Chain A
């Protein structure tokens, strides 16, 4: 009898301690967000409607759909579904061809509009000087295309002339 009482009180004590601890230090979603962010392709293209991969990761953690990442393609979508199995999977986007931006340097007027638009600082240049793309850093997000007033930026396959 006394054994039962002791065990029961221990259980209740532990439960109370856990409840208190949870109220005192609420668990945050940071590990989940980091895990989701690690799956995303980090192109920072904002095609999902969020201003970058980390914001989309935060949004997913709070319930955004899983099928909004076109550059990630089927692979990223599959990993997201694996990570969050109880969410509606949605429709996997098609995997696109990897592309990188290239500035036609003969037509660049050095307006500097594309440089701040690049989310990964892959365009180097200064006002009134020619700009160019760092091929290794470019993620092919296409965010530099709309600001260019002379349409001298195009997306090409990596390695093509």
Chain B
């Protein structure tokens, strides 16, 4: 039985990428009403007063804890694919497995590439996280509805279930099943899932859609199913200290954790955050205590290199990560890191290798964005200068022609 966290007095929200607030300080937001729209919709988990809203953050004071009432449910078989997709978008569904990528965008890309197989990712493999397993035990009907909706949106031929043996998925109507006892810590990464089940190797930069697959987390499918029955995404199941709970999205972490820092995500691939100002978002699949041991210096033993499933030179990456040397990190293949976290337990010096690599990756991505932005500006500036020069030259040419004509006319 998944328990429900009582609503806190206050909810915190960040503005999502390419999304805009629909609220201003002082507004009253009814439960279930959108507070941001655009690429990533977000809805209020309860009736709230907007205590504060600036460009990037908002604080909502809960004034009534009645849960949001459902909108009109859709009949999957009688609704067009685009209406189903719009419902997925406007219910704010995002990848609940931890990716947080907007599901409607994933489905749109899949529709554009044309996919034949839906892979249900129920390979919950992160040690200490069991939210998907708990959800599979209680939300079978919604998951099935989510599967049906995706099947209809993308006109899928085959539905394949990849599940850990802890999942209660016997009643799901799927075409093929792959059940694994004790999955290892990287089995749930979609690229390894496709490699192990379908023998499909994704090269860096490729996604499953490029090979005709769309991979959806089982929790995301549950959320899609609920969206089809009219419930916007305002809560998710999270493993809190080993116990699975429905948490309202926007719940401040300080409601759950008393210490200064906490571990968000699993014990391997999660990360340590400062509790003050942090909140539960759509990607928060686990909350646990952060260990507070001291890291010793790196002794270059190379155990992290051996542990890496992508065979990256982790020791080298670590050396060039602080301070980050973008060119070297790029050449060593940092972009291919899947952030599984297997390097951390391998380290005899207790270095938080993953956190270091993540920081470096953030720098790398920012640098890439800067580079592409400057390249764009450069191209456009060159084109602009060129155009102005050509126009000036044409004007000058016309002037000369006119002059020549006039001279010709007077000499006649």
Binding site for B on A (CB under 8 A): 37-38, 40-44, 52-54, 116, 118-122, 136-137, 139, 157, 159-161
Q: Report if B299 contacts A (CB, 8 A).
A: no
Residue B109 interfacial (CB < 8 Å) = no
Contacts of B18 in A (CB 8 A): 159
CA distance A37 to B377 in the complex (A): 12
How many whole Å from A102's CB to the nearest CB in chain B?
13
CB-CB under 8 A from B55, the residues of chain A are 157, 159-160
CA distance A86 to B381 in the complex (A): 30
CB contact under 8 A between A42 and B15, given known A52-B385, A116-B388, A160-B55: no
Asked if residues A159 and B15 are in contact (CB atoms below 8 Å), the reply is yes
- The reply to whether A161 and B381 form a contact with Cβ atoms under 8 Å apart is no
Instruction: Tell me the complex Cα distance, A48–B249, Å.
Output: 47
Report yes or no: B381 in contact with A42, Cβ–Cβ below 8 A: yes
Tell me if B384 is interfacial: C-beta within 8 Å of chain A: yes
Choose among B21, B380, B387 the residue with the greatest number of A CB atoms under 10 Å from its CB.
Answer: B380
Residue of A nearest to B388 (CB): A116
CA distance A41 to B374 in the complex (A): 6
Is B137 located at the chain interface by the 8 A CB criterion?
no
Question: Can you show 20 pairs from A to B with CB atoms below 8 A apart?
Answer: A38-B374, A40-B374, A41-B374, A42-B374, A43-B377, A52-B381, A52-B385, A53-B378, A54-B381, A116-B388, A118-B384, A121-B383, A121-B387, A137-B376, A137-B380, A157-B55, A159-B15, A159-B20, A159-B55, A161-B21
Q: Which residues of A contact B377 (CB under 8 A)?
A: 42-44, 120, 137, 139
Chain B residues whose CB sits within 8 angstroms of the CB of A136 once the complex forms? 376
| Nearest chain B CB to A161 CB, angstrom units | 5
- The 8 Å CB contact of A121, one of B20, B378, B384, is B384
- Among A38, A40, A121, A159, the residue within 8 A (CB) of B380 is A121
CB proximity of A24 to chain B, nearest CB, Å:
31
A125 to chain B, nearest CB (A): 15
Encode B238-272 as 1/0 by CB contact (under 8 A) with A.
00000000000000000000000000000000000
* B408 → chain A closest CB, angstroms: 33
Residue on B with the closest CB to A156? Answer: B55
Q: Name the residue of chain A whose CB is nearest to the CB of B21.
A: A161
Residues of A within 8 A of B387 (CB): 121
User: Closest residue to B379 on the A side, CB-wise?
Assistant: A120
Could you say which residues of chain A place their CB within 8 Å of the CB of B15? 159
Which has the most chain B C-beta neighbours within 10 Å: A42, A119, A122?
A42
Chain A nearest Cβ from B241, distance in angstroms: 36
Residues facing A in B379-412 (CB within 8 A) are: 380-381, 383-385, 387-388
B378 and A42 within 8 A (CB):
yes
CB atoms of B380 and A120 under 8 A apart = yes
The residue of chain B having its C-beta at the shortest distance from the C-beta of A98 within the complex is B373
Instruction: For the complex of A and B, list the 3 residue pairs with the smallest distance between their C-beta atoms, beginning with the closest.
Output: A120-B380, A42-B377, A42-B374
Nearest to B376 among chain A residues (CB) is A137
Q: Whole-angstrom distance from the CB of B223 to the nearest CB of chain A?
A: 25
